[in-house]
Structure 1
């Protein structure tokens, strides 16, 4: 079995994909998965399912959803019925030998960051591309309403953006800056308040002999930040702007040793 949460929630077994059609049962499974092998209390499940306005028989409804979830998992590969364990205060989802894309993503990101810090950019890029490939689309789209699922979706989105940033840095360090210009143009449009994407775009444009366009990106960032937040760009962006104006040789790609 394999649980996949980085996109539409599904469970895979022997090349077959199983998805839940009942939103409440899907929310229950997602909450247990995010629990990471720890017991999730009935109160936590009630909050994720109904917020601060639960029905009068919420506890009984949770019991029904757990029963439905057990049946679903049995059909998805949990033939021994041991995935969901009842605890004194709630329920625990035991992964056992099952795979989980979130754990794989975290490991790939951890490896990628470590390799990048060690200057092993080609290997770092491979690991980061592996992490990126695990994200299949919007995480828990239309499902996340309670605090646990909302926090998880926010974490997943931030990690996805960091993965993109690190991948761009790795490609830039390898001299593959022209490959990421289109991507960064899209990202600055989608995330106009994220200054790191402006910084990366300015650098790769400069290294692609497009100095004027790099300076235009800075002016665009400055205009957006002033209009939206009443702020000037961060000092790192201002320093890069000045370095581009003076064609600082520190911006050149370091020669291979």
Structure 2
């Protein structure tokens, strides 16, 4: 069985994908998956489902929803279901089942390792495989209590980081012209993320488009000043000075930790 959270929540098995239509039951399953193999307390789950305005019989309602999740995940070929009662609440045990969010984070970590080893082609492939797992915003439109909001925020940031690292891998392979179009889109969609502006400047400069690279810097600087009252970060300023001098900016790549 495979659980998917990188988009709308769904469960995939031999019969294909299936989903839950009841919102509160979907929130419960999504919360358990967001903390797979770890216990979520009864209070955390009730807060996630109802927020601060919990009904008088919230605990009884939670027990009903847990029962519904267990029915949804029941498979006749399995001796036991994945949702377990564990004090002070419940956990969902993966036990060999796949979770796309976990696969994504593992691929990002693998790509980082390949970058550190200067295996740029393999790094790019790992990042591309990770990004291909996404079908839409994390968790789709499932409720946003503290558990799911924090989980979705972490995944969304990891997705942006993966995209940034993929571009770095491509730039290190000399594919500057190939990433220019993507970087223009990324800078429009993420105008305050300076890494994408820096990458665009470098890609343009190494594509023999020095004037466009300088124009990209001016545009980014104007956006940062207008929105935040801040000058560009030091790496962007150093890259700008290198382009003005027509130097090859060897240190323009982000270090990989």
TM-score (norm 1): 0.94
Alpha-carbon distance in structure 2 between the residues aligned to 1:239 and 1:161:
23
Alpha-carbon distance in structure 1 between the residues aligned to 2:15 and 2:114:
32
- Runs of 4+ with deviation above 4 angstroms: none
Give the RMSD, CA atoms, in angstroms: 1.6
**Pair 1:194 & 2:188 matched:** no
1:234 alignment counterpart: 233
Q: CA deviation at 1:82?
A: 2.0
Q: Which runs of 5+ in 1 are unaligned?
A: none
Question: Are 2:6 and 2:137, in contact at CA under 8 Å, matched by a contact in 1?
Answer: yes
Alpha-carbon distance in structure 2 between the residues aligned to 1:97 and 1:235:
45
Superposed counterparts of 1:19-98, under 5 Å: 19-74=19-74, 79-98=78-97
Deviation string, structure 1 residues 71-105 (Cα, Å, up to 9, x no partner): 11116x77434211112321111111211112211
Alpha-carbon distance in structure 1 between the residues aligned to 2:233 and 2:4:
37
SS at match of 2:74: helix
Q: CA deviation at 1:142?
A: 2.0
Alpha-carbon distance in structure 1 between the residues aligned to 2:79 and 2:58:
28
Q: CA deviation at 1:233?
A: 0.7
SS at match of 1:131: helix
**Pair 1:116 & 2:115 matched:** yes
Q: CA deviation at 1:159?
A: 0.5
Q: CA deviation at 1:210?
A: 0.5
Q: Which runs of 5+ in 2 are unaligned?
A: 253-257
SS at match of 1:237: helix
2:177 alignment counterpart: 178
